[in-house]
Amino acid sequence: MNTLHLKYAVEVERTRSISKAAENLFMAQPNLSKAIKELEDSLGITIFQRTSKGVVPTQQGAEFLKYAKNILTELEKMESIYVPDAQNRQSLKLSIPRGSYISNAYINFIADLDMNQEINICIQETNSMQTITNLEKNNFNLGIVRYQTIYEKYYMDYLAEKNMAFEPIWNFEFLAIMSSKHAYANSKKIVYNKLAANSIEIVHADTVIPYISTPEVKKPHTQQNEDYIPKKVYVYERGSQFAMLNQLPTTFMLVSPIPEHLINIYDLVQRKCEMEDNDFKDILIYPKGYTMTRFDRDFINKLFEAKNEVAFKEYN
């Protein structure tokens, strides 16, 4: 749960309408409905019910909304207190994985900054271990850590050792992205082993797991075919990956779901792909005791908006 979820729920209560609230929040109605359902599932209660008078809170929902409004009010008060100093500086140091929905979030965040004030933003796309180091030693404000859930215990232990707090963003499966001209682009079902045997895979090169040496790291798509000949290109940034995917129809990549506008720009398709251990998680991390600035919270709101854009779509 984050402040964006609280704002969603409060707006639904105020308008008594999912469609009107979605319009006021500048989001699609299905996305708002699914976000409210996600919030209800996380709390274990039903917040709203449909009646002849519109969408109204349940008894438990009304109690929750009372707390939600108090939290939002206190956050506004805190922001007003710190306006004169560092809390109001348009500054953010962010360490993130190479995920396109995340880049969508920081682009939208930067677009809303005040052009009449100083802007000082630092963004590093890197692996999860470097992100933790950036927050521990390099004065980064926020980080996003991505990992396979089979390694969750290692990450939880390591974050505790480094005195880091965390909040879940979402669980997801990697999708296979490729040119619309790829031989498998229109296949009814895509299986990793077959796709990899007949294509060049683009891979982010610097995966590291805490407490585990690189040779021990199990990939989510371990190849079992003895006749398989690996064909991989390792990259460290997203620009070259999109250029190769667009211009080389024999390439593919496994990634978190990508915003539709990028799929259209590069003439790609993104498809479900059957493979082992395809369960990933993104979490937001920050040092324990760290006080969020207004701009930290603004970015987090943009992050969850961007996540909602891709998380609630149906992929096949």
Domains of the chain, earliest start first: 3-81 (1.10.10.10), 88-171+280-311 (3.40.190.10), 175-272 (3.40.190)
Overall average pLDDT of the 271-297 stretch: 91
Helix pair 294-311, 3-15: axis angle to 10 deg: 70
Q: Name the average pLDDT for the chain.
A: 88
- In this structure, which amino acid lies at residue 206? D
User: Which residues, including other chains, have CB under 8 Å from residue 28's CB and lie 6 or more apart?
Assistant: 22
Portion of the chain with pLDDT greater than 70, in percent? 91
Quote the distance between the C-alpha of residue 124 and its chain's center.
15
Using CA atoms, how far residue 171 sits from 71, 98, 154, 259, in Å, is 26, 16, 17, 16
Whether the predicted pLDDT of 80 surpasses 70 = no
The whole-angstrom separation of Cα 182 and Cα 191 is: 14
Q: Is the pTM value of this prediction over 0.75?
A: no
Q: Distance (Å, rounded) from C-alpha 129 to C-alpha 301?
A: 24
Task: Give the pair of three-digit tokens for residue 42.
Answer: 């996380």
H or E segment to which residue 100 belongs? helix 100-111
**Separation of alpha carbons 20 and 31, rounded Å:** 13
pLDDT of residue 290: 86
